[in-house]
Structure 1
Amino acid sequence: MTTVTSPLAGRAIGLAAVPDPVFSGAMVGPGTAVDPVLEPCVAVAPVDGIVVSLHPHAFVVVDVEGHGVLTHLGIDTVQLNGEGFEVLINKGDTVRRGDAIVRWDPNVAVAAGKSPICPVVALEATAYALAAVSDGDTEVKTGDALFTWT
């Protein structure tokens, strides 16, 4: 079983509230989302593992059980071309839960008309494999449990 923790502080809102049909429809996978506190922050690893994909706006960490967890910092933030983001590690790095991955200012996304909501998705999982710990209008701190994956 893998516990997936919040990569940043904010409010856990559930994927259905994400203003993007790919995420809200769980097409990428089940999970939850965090509406972040609107201040500069550092997004951290939600699980122990290897960073297999790394972009300024999104990263995937795969744990020892092969569970890939996608953290997407904002919606349509790829269009910002890295503005407001600073990548702090390298693809292929081994990380521990809570290790800093990307420094981000969600206010840059908001100023550009983008949603700051951050989906945290269990890639290639089925909804029945997840148990929500914090889903639906729950304040979370960085590192608080979001869901478990069995």
Structure 2
Amino acid sequence: MQILAPCAGHVIAMRDVDDPVFSEQIVGPGVGIEPLAGPAQILAPADGRLLKVDPHAFILMVDDSVGILVHIGINTVQLQGDGFEVLASRGDSVSAGTPIVAWNPDDIDQPGVSTTVVVAVMDHAPDSVTGAAVGADVAVGDPLFTV
């Protein structure tokens, strides 16, 4: 299954994400995206159903079997929703490209908080995604990796 970029930016390897929960692939394999500056929407990276939606993260169940975590920034839970606008609800069935959260990475300016957007395949073996666009600049909806 193809997972698409939920935002535009520069793709980095999961091992380079500045959080051991992600860089050590404890949550699962995937990539990080250093987002472009300015206001943006974070979109669903595939067709699926939203299992959980928080201002800083959401989980999308794809094909009733694969959980995709999109975590908007590192340590952004500390912001308690400030700077994020939730655009979809838990339980919603969405298509790839559906806006889920709006934010402006330029507004994230706190010590220990980063704007890296993580896209992880939950409960999968480390390094089990293929075709990851690491090192590339992606537009919203570009292929990101394959599960």
Normalising TM by the smaller chain, what interval?
Answer: over 0.9
Determine helix, strand or coil for the equivalent of 2:96.
coil
Matched residue, 1:147:
145
Q: How many corresponding residue pairs?
A: 146
Task: Give ranges in structure 1 of 5+ residues lacking alignment.
Answer: none
Residue type matched to 1:98 in 2?
Answer: G
Q: Distance in 2 between matches of 1:76 and 1:127?
A: 22
Give 1:129 deviation, angstroms: 3.6
- Superposed CA RMSD: 1.1
Return the alpha-carbon distance in structure 1 between the equivalents of residues 126 and 26 of structure 2: 11
Q: How does 1:1-150 map to 2 (within 5 A)?
A: 2-109=1-108, 111-113=109-111, 114-127=113-126, 129-135=128-134, 137-149=135-147
Matches of 1:119 and 1:133, distance apart in 2:
13
What secondary structure sits across from 1:127 in the alignment?
coil
Question: Structure 2 regions of 5+ residues with no counterpart?
Answer: none
Measure how far apart 1:36 and its partner are: 0.4
Distance 1:91 1:65 in 2: 15
**Runs of at least 4 residues of structure 1 off by over 2 A?**
none
Using the TM superposition, give the Cα deviation of residue 133 of structure 1 relative to its aligned residue in structure 2, in angstroms: 3.3
Alpha-carbon shift at residue 65 of structure 1 (Å):
4.5
Contact kept in structure 2, 1:14 and 1:32, CA below 8 Å: yes
Describe the SS at the equivalent of 2:115: coil
Determine if contact 1:33/1:117 at 8 Å carries over to the other structure.
yes
Opposite residue 146 of structure 2, the aligned amino acid is T
Query: Are the counterparts in 1 of residues 29 and 128 from structure 2 also a CA contact under 8 Å?
Result: no
1:131 alignment partner, SS class: coil
